[in-house]
C-alpha cells in the first residue's frame, strides 16, 4: 500500500475519531455505535498494521540504510570502480536489487530472517543515538557472515557450481556449501567494503551518467 | 445519567488517544529516518493500543441495557 494512501487513511480515521470525541452522544444510536467501532477499533488497528508494514518495507531500502551518516562510507563503497570490491561489483552489475542492496546481502535467509535483521537494526539505532559511535572502519558484523546469504542466490548458478576456482579442489565446493569455508573471510572474496583502507588510488563509478 | 457521562468521557479520552496515535503514525510515515519506525511502534502503537483498549473497556463497563436491567430486577423478585 503506498505511503500516501496510508497517510490519507490515517487522516480520514483521525477526522472520524474527532467526530466521536466532539459528540460522544451519537454512540447512543446504532449507527453511532458502528461508527465508534469503526473509528476507535477497526480503522486505528488497520492503519497501525498498514503503517508498520510500510515502514518495514521502507527499512529494506538502500536509501534507508544510508540515511545514517555513519553509513556514508559504506554507501560510497558501492560506487568504487573496481570489480574486486565485492559489494561494488554486486551493486553496479545489479546482482542485487540496487534499491535494496544492503538488505539483500545483510539479511538472514533463515526462518524469521527479516525479523532478526530488523532486531539487528534496532541495535544500530541504540548505538547511534545512545552510545559512542564507532568510526566507520571499526564497524563489525554482529556475527561472521554466513555463506547461506551468498548461496541464497549463487547456489545452483553455473558460474558458481562450475567455476574453476571453486572446483580446483574437490573439497572446496562442499566446504563452501557447509559454511566451513567462508566466502568472504577465507582469502577468496575478502575485499567487500574495505572502508578505511581505500588509499588514494581508488576511483569511483559515476553511475553511467 | 452519571454512568452515561462516564461512558462519554471514556469515549472522548479513547478518541483523543487514538487521534494523537494516528497523527504520530502519519508523521512517522512522512519522516524518513530510521528512528521513525521506533517512534511509530513505541509511541504511535502505544497510544493507539491504549485508545482501543479504553474503547473496549468502555463497551464492557457501560450502563446496562434497560431490557437486561429489568430482567435482572424480575429475577430478584
A9 found inside a domain: yes
Cβ contact, residue pair B22, A40, below 8 Å: no
Give the pLDDT confidence of B8-59 residue by residue, as tens digits: 899 999 999 999 999 999 999 998 788 888 899 899 999 999 999 999 999 8
Total number of domains in chain B: 1
Region of A194 please: left (phi>0), alpha (psi -120 to 50) or beta: left
B55 found inside a domain: yes
Same domain, A18 and A95: no
pLDDT > 90? residue A197: no
Same domain, A147 and A84: yes
pLDDT score recorded for residue B60: 87
Total number of domains in chain A: 2
Q: Given the cut 0.90, state whether the ipTM is greater than it.
A: no
pLDDT mean over A121-148: 88
The structure's pTM equals: 0.79
A115 found inside a domain: yes
Looking at the DSSP assignment, which residues form a beta bridge with residue A204? Answer: A80
Same domain, A72 and A114: yes
**Residue A7 lies in domain:** 3-58
A206 found inside a domain: no
Q: What Cα–Cα distance (Å) separates residue A77 from each residue in A58, A86, A133, A182, B38?
A: 22, 10, 20, 21, 28
A190 found inside a domain: no
Cβ contact, residue pair B23, A14, below 8 Å: yes
Q: What Cα–Cα distance (Å) separates residue A112 from each residue in A49, A108, A117, A173, B23?
A: 18, 8, 9, 27, 30
pLDDT mean over A122-133: 86
Same domain, A113 and A153: yes
**Residue B21 lies in domain:** 2-61
Partners of residue B28 in chain A, C-beta under 8 Å: 51, 55
Cβ contact, residue pair A51, B29, below 8 Å: yes
A74 found inside a domain: yes
What residue in A sits closest to B21 (Cα-Cα)?
A44
Query: Which residues of chain B have a Cβ shorter than 8 Å from any chain A Cβ?
Result: 7-9, 11-12, 14-16, 18-19, 21-23, 25-26, 28-30, 32-38, 40-41, 44-45, 48, 51-52, 55-56
Cell readout for A14 is 483521525
A27 found inside a domain: yes
Amino acid at each position: 500500500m503506498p505511503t500516501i494512501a496510508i497517510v490519507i487513511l490515517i487522516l480520514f480515521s483521525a477526522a472520524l475519531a474527532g467526530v466521536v470525541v466532539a459528540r460522544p452522544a451519537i454512540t447512543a444510536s446504532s449507527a453511532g455505535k458502528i461508527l465508534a467501532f469503526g473509528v476507535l477499533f477497526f480503522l486505528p488497528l488497520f492503519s497501525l498494521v498498514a503503517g508498520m508494514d510500510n515502514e518495514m518495507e521502507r527499512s529494506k531500502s538502500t536509501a534507508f540504510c544510508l540515511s545514517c551518516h555513519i553509513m556514508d562510507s559504506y554507501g560510497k563503497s558501492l560506487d568504487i570502480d573496481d570489480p574486486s570490491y565485492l559489494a561494488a561489483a554486486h551493486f553496479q552489475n545489479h546482482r542485487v536489487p540496487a534499491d535494496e542492496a544492503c538488505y539483500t546481502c545483510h539479511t538472514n535467509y533463515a526462518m524469521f530472517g527479516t525479523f532478526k535483521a530488523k532486531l539487528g537494526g534496532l541495535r544500530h539505532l541504540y548505538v547511534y543515538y545512545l552510545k559512542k559511535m564507532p568510526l566507520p572502519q571499526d564497524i563489525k558484523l554482529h556475527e561472521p557472515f554466513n555463506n547461506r546469504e551468498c548461496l541464497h542466490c549463487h547456489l545452483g548458478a553455473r558460474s558458481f557450481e562450475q567455476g574453476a576456482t571453486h572446483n580446483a579442489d574437490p573439497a572446496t565446493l562442499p566446504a563452501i556449501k557447509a559454511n566451513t569455508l567462508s566466502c568472504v573471510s577465507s582469502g577468496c572474496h575478502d575485499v567487500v567494503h574495505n572502508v578505511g583502507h581505500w588509499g588514494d588510488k581508488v576511483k569511483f563509478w559515476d553511475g553511467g551518467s | 445519567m452519571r454512568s452515561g457521562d462516564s461512558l462519554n468521557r471514556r469515549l472522548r479520552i479513547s478518541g483523543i488517544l487514538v487521534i494523537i496515535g494516528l497523527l504520530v503514525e502519519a508523521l512517522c510515515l512522512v519522516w524518513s529516518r530510521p528512528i521513525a519506525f521506533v517512534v511509530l511502534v513505541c509511541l504511535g502503537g502505544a497510544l493507539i493500543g491504549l485508545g482501543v483498549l479504553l474503547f473496549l473497556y468502555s463497551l464492557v463497563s457501560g450502563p446496562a441495557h434497560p431490557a437486561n436491567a429489568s430482567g435482572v430486577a424480575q429475577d430478584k423478585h
